[in-house]
Amino acid sequence: MLELKFDKTKCADCKAVSCLVKCQYMHFDRDTARTEWQKVVNGEDSQVLHDCATCYSCEEYCPFGNHPFYLIVERQEEKGILPAPRPITTMWINQCQPIGRFTVGKVEEKAMSFCFLPQFGILAGGKLFEDIAWSSIFGQEFFCNAVYLHFARMSVIRDRLPKVIENIAKQGIKELVCLHDECYGTFTSLAPAYGIELPFKPVHYYEHLYDKLKELKDEIQPLNVKVAYFRNCSARLIPETDHFVDDIFGLIGVDRVQREYDHENALCCAELIRVSKGPEMADDVQKRNLDDMLKAGAEYCVFNCPGCWDSMVEKVVKTGIKPIHMIDLCKLAIGEEQALTPPEPALEV
């Protein structure tokens, strides 16, 4: 059985308790945080297990890379604490079950993963992806399964992830460009945390975009716009990729506005908070995020995750800020049309 690599001594020696003190959804002073976290470490019931918003942030906050969020998920499942209603959890587990049906392109040693998100099939085109346009994988058999972290079902991940990795390797893939943070985070954070070795190299698509934009630098027309970057929950598993956002923005002439809720202080899309904690908390999180973008003078809101796009795009449009996916932003800089079209502002009734 796969076991989490967790070092209790690191928590015992930790004075900052950053994993909880910095949390934007639970509010602990340092002493209470230390007490509640020790309960989690000891396998006891804790307020943390009941109030966690499953935003992944503590994975980024921990200075030791000790995977506090993965431990929270383990403890929640052990104690039968459901972050989301049981029918929703069951639906997610069933609809993404690997059943032997999947779609592959003309797979070569370098390929890109659409995971189980068809939107990427629309986005990943044009000059930025011409070298791997037909080398792709998609479907339940390649689904990273990290979403079950939100539902306290680490057992599902432990059961399915090794087979997913095996399925990818069977395609002869040596280098996999991950078009979703969740996939890249699974392969570079979650898998190693459980001692799972990879037979291929995962590459974040931001790195791919950055390299392609450098090749196409003579075609770039600086956009000269101010943008708010919408950082999703999965990015917390891989904070080392955040520099690519600024690197890409620098190449295409984009100003990432300074605002309160960005970088490690980012707020998530809150859609799973809506499911687990209710609409009042979710609406407050979303409003604070949008108000912060407006206050900072953002003209565009740049999305990375299709899930965040679906949750927030209409709300962003209503503010007058233009929503755009990172890939489409890069396409605009080289004179290509964007693939995801924002909805028209809805009429107020």
Is 227 in the same domain as 200? Answer: no
Give domain status of residue 87, yes or no: no
Do both 120 and 38 map to the same domain? no
Residue 2 lies in a domain: no
Residue 145 has pLDDT above 80, yes or no: yes
Predicted pLDDT at 184: 97
How big is the chain, counted in residues?
349
Secondary structure tally for the chain: helices H, strands E: 17, 9
What pLDDT is attached to residue 349?
Answer: 41
Residue in the structure block whose two tokens are 């306290």: 152
| Contacts for 91 with CB less than 8 Å, ≥ 6 apart | none
Give the model confidence (pLDDT) of 85-106 as tens digits.
999 999 999 988 888 766 676 8
Q: Report if pTM > 0.85.
A: yes
Domain limits for position 28: 8-79
CA dist 90 and 111 (Å) reads 31
The per-residue pLDDT for range 202-255, each reduced to its tens digit, is 999 999 999 999 999 999 999 999 999 999 999 999 999 999 999 999 999 999
pLDDT in tens, 100-134: 766 676 899 999 999 888 888 889 999 999 999 88
Q: Report helix, strand or coil for 202.
A: strand
Mean pLDDT computed over every residue of the chain: 93
Distances from the Cα of 104 to the Cα of 115, 135, 315, angstroms: 11, 8, 35
What CATH number did the domain enclosing 322 receive?
Answer: 3.40.50.1860
Q: Are residues 101 and 190 in the same domain?
A: yes
Other beta carbons less than 10 A from residue 303's beta carbon: 27
**What distance in Å separates the CA atoms of residue 37 and residue 46, rounded to the nearest whole number?**
8
Same domain flag for 163 and 121: yes
